[in-house]
Amino acid sequence: MTEAKLISALNEENLSHFSKTYVPSRLLLGPGPSNAHPEVLNALSLNPIGHLDEAYISLMSDVQQLLRYTWQCNNRLTLPMSGTGSAAMEASIANFIEEGEKILIAKKGYFGDRLVDMATRYKADVSVIEKPWGESFSYEEIKYEIETKKPAIFAIVHAETSSGVLQPLDGIGDVCRKNNCLFLVDAVTSLGALELLIDEWKIDLAYSCSQKGLSCPPGLSPFTMNERAEEKLSSRQTKVPNWYLDLSLLNKYWGSDRVYHHTAPVNMNFAIREGLRLIANEGLENVWHRHNTNAKNLWNGLESLGMELHVSEDYRLPTLTTVKIPPAVDGDGFRNHLLRNFGIEIGNGLGELSGKVWRIGLMGFNSSQENVDRLLNLFDTELKKYSIFESSTF
């Protein structure tokens, strides 16, 4: 037997032991993740139990029931998928698209692009309608496109986290039904924070994530689909080309059969149960009201400090505000200053808004008057230190 030389976990310069895992304390006021609620963290730290244990099965039912309330739907197939928001996003494409099928994607930011990329990988016939980052689609535009293009699926992002736009969804569900098309909604930055009525708005399938409105760490992605979507799924000619995200297999675990598919991330499910319970306790309408009020206070405060907001108030997104970086300000410098010296994270602009806006998130547990006041104070006292004109005079 040759003597194996084990690879050291330590690099050459660091020959001491790793210290215990340490994470600095942060207030996350960016595009996500958002801070988890302390009660959610308590639930997360419980010892795992078996994913087929009857206590766990009962917890799964609670999660489904609480999710139906939060989604405002009665869909049997409502479950948190393992993985971040993009997992349920990919499930929505992988399960409902067969090669060559037509999908129409309304794209007005980065996450519309991701849907296009996924649909292309699953070999859909992809049509795209596009708006500049910071605008929304009108009902008439969407209606016209669905009626003329006749897609099998119409997909749109409700809350575009890259641009700060809230897309109105009224009436689109009816147009989809009349045109025999499934209505797919990305609700990653709206679930548990903003008005969202899955049944009433006739949304056939929707997905979200745990780390934005639900006050949990990243790791789960709530998903829901109605009977129209179930019919489409069961009439597939070919197998779902993604094993891990195959909803017909997942349904056997989350439905009444409880057949093993993959080991559930049990602690994340403890966490989401707690996050959803807190929403139900507060009451969904109170939660929506809190998000709207805190966002309005942020907008008014920023404007009274002379800041300009990127999106018109008519369709501005309460969970994520895009603020224009004033021309004479070092945007990255200010952002890094907030993080390093105050432990507060705000986001940089993404894609075509990079360097042009900051992104400020007020989501879930973090949507509070206290956080708004704290951030506004820092804009008031610290921003002037990052004026390029001022620093160049030193």
Ligand X SMILES: *Cc1c(COP(=O)(O)O)cnc(C)c1O
| Binding region for ligand X (CB under 6 A) | 32, 84-86, 89, 111, 157, 159, 161, 186, 188-189, 209, 218
CB 162 → ligand X: shortest distance, Å? 7
In the complex with ligand X, which residue's Cβ is closer, 104 or 191?
191
Closest to 66 measured CA to CA, from 220, 253, 183, 169: 220
CB 114 → ligand X: shortest distance, Å? 7
CA distance 205 to 185: 6
CB 193 → ligand X: shortest distance, Å? 11
In the complex with ligand X, which residue's Cβ is closer, 225 or 363?
363
In the complex with ligand X, which residue's Cβ is closer, 112 or 173?
112
In the complex with ligand X, which residue's Cβ is closer, 72 or 86?
86
Residue written as tokens 């700060």?
Answer: 164
User: Would you say 352 and 274 are in contact if contact means Cβ atoms under 8 Å apart?
Assistant: no
Give, in order, the Cα–Cα distances in Å from 271 to each of 64, 216, 267.
Answer: 13, 6, 6
CA distance 310 to 171: 26
Residue written as tokens 């998130």?
Answer: 361
CB 100 → ligand X: shortest distance, Å? 26
Beta strands 220-225; 205-207: pairing state: antiparallel
Instruction: Collapse the DSSP code of 210 into the 3-class scheme (helix H, G, I; strand E, B; otherwise coil) and give the result.
Output: coil
CA distance 394 to 392: 5
In the complex with ligand X, which residue's Cβ is closer, 85 or 318?
85
In the complex with ligand X, which residue's Cβ is closer, 37 or 212?
212
User: Would you say 32 and 363 are in contact if contact means Cβ atoms under 8 Å apart?
Assistant: yes
CB 218 → ligand X: shortest distance, Å? 6
Instruction: Tell me which residue has its CB nearest to ligand X.
Output: 85
CB 142 → ligand X: shortest distance, Å? 18
